[in-house]
Amino acid sequence: MTTHPTTERPVTRRAARAGAPAPRRARSFAYGLVGVIGELLITVGVLLLGFLVWQLWWTDVEGDRAQAEIVRELDFVEPAPAPADTGPLVAEPRRDEPPAPIAEPGHAETFATIQVPRWVGEPERPISQGVDRPTVLDVLGVGHYPGTAMPGGVGNFALAGHRVTFGKPFNRIEEIQVGDPIVVRTADTWYVYRATGTEVVLPKDVRVIAPAPNQPGVEPTERSITLTTCHPMFSARERYVVYGVLDYWAPASSGTPAELLGTA
């Protein structure tokens, strides 16, 4: 009997060839998916980088500009000019009873400025009423805790400020050492405080802004100042605190504190 060649193997080969595009399509889809994911990750990275640039740099640029303008617009008494060729007039320290503290202002009202001579290169910063972020700390600079003492008053003149972003007025707070001057200016008076210590506390430790710092319920006898800011850097986990007491006061019209002139 004559036998004929089988057709099974050619059919199998054709079937195999017909099924070949499936793996290629799968690989093509996988490569396309990887490409899309890669583009999405790049886009997200660019957006995050842009956010960081805005948050860590541009808000400082805007904050510094806005705060400098606020200080320029304050209607404060100018220090008395010195006679020609004698240099700036140094205010004479006074350690008697300072003027009666100014009344606590309305929310977000700017009423004083602060300078720390150790922070060489840092500008004079405005102090405004309140410590919320949207209307004070993010836009006006340093905030005053409502209900605490006013400059020069018996009690605790307590302040808060950003350590990073929005001008970061308290960025260099850890540089302050015991004995350093902290200079506050109101419309017509200088108040020169001296740092007495520092502390790191939890945000719930409101004892630091008590009328007698760290002594809730105790009647204050000193004219104190307290600076608070977030700690550590780029975190709000804790608070870094600087304490101080009033050293002396001087009328703004009498000159400029020696500490600001570098002659103290």
- Domain of 223: which CATH number? 2.40.260.10
Selected catalytic residue, list 125, 163, 230, 231 = 230
Please tell me the predicted confidence (pLDDT) of residue 16.
47
pTM assigned to the model = 0.79
Clarify whether 133 is annotated catalytic.
Answer: no
Nearest to 194, CA basis, from 89, 95, 67, 71? 95
Q: Is residue 244 part of a domain?
A: yes
* Tens place of pLDDT per residue across the chain (264 aa): 444 554 455 545 544 455 556 677 776 766 677 777 777 666 666 555 554 554 556 778 899 999 999 999 999 988 877 666 677 899 999 999 999 999 999 999 999 999 999 999 999 999 999 999 999 999 999 999 999 999 999 999 999 999 999 999 999 999 999 999 999 999 999 999 999 999 999 999 999 999 999 999 999 999 999 999 999 998 999 999 999 999 999 999 999 999 999 987
Clarify whether 230 is annotated catalytic.
Answer: yes
Q: What is the total count of domains within the chain?
A: 1
Please tell me the predicted confidence (pLDDT) of residue 40.
67
Whether the Cβ atoms of residue 67 and residue 123 lie closer than 8 Å to each other: yes
Whether the Cβ atoms of residue 221 and residue 47 lie closer than 8 Å to each other: no
Please tell me the predicted confidence (pLDDT) of residue 36.
72
Q: Is residue 54 part of a domain?
A: no
Q: Is residue 196 part of a domain?
A: yes
Please tell me the predicted confidence (pLDDT) of residue 189.
97
Residue 16 CA: distances (Å) to CA of 6, 12, 22, 25, 262: 17, 6, 11, 15, 90
Torsional sign, CA 117, 123, 124, 125: negative
Please tell me the predicted confidence (pLDDT) of residue 23.
72
Max CA distance (Å), the chain: 135
Q: Is residue 20 part of a domain?
A: no
Please tell me the predicted confidence (pLDDT) of residue 24.
72
Residue 110 β-bridge partners: 128
Burial class (CB in 10 A: 0-12, 13-18, 19+), 48: exposed
Domain of 190 in residue numbering reads as 64-97+106-261
Clarify whether 239 is annotated catalytic.
Answer: yes
Please tell me the predicted confidence (pLDDT) of residue 15.
47
Query: Token pair 């104190």 is at which residue?
Result: 224
Q: Is residue 169 part of a domain?
A: yes
Please tell me the predicted confidence (pLDDT) of residue 230.
97
Please tell me the predicted confidence (pLDDT) of residue 87.
74
Please tell me the predicted confidence (pLDDT) of residue 201.
98
Selected catalytic residue, list 125, 144, 162, 163 = 162
Q: Is residue 126 part of a domain?
A: yes
Q: Is residue 9 part of a domain?
A: no
Q: Is residue 80 part of a domain?
A: yes
Q: Which residues contact 44 (CB under 8 A, 6 or more apart)?
A: none
Say how far apart CA 217 and CA 205 lie, in whole Å.
Answer: 14
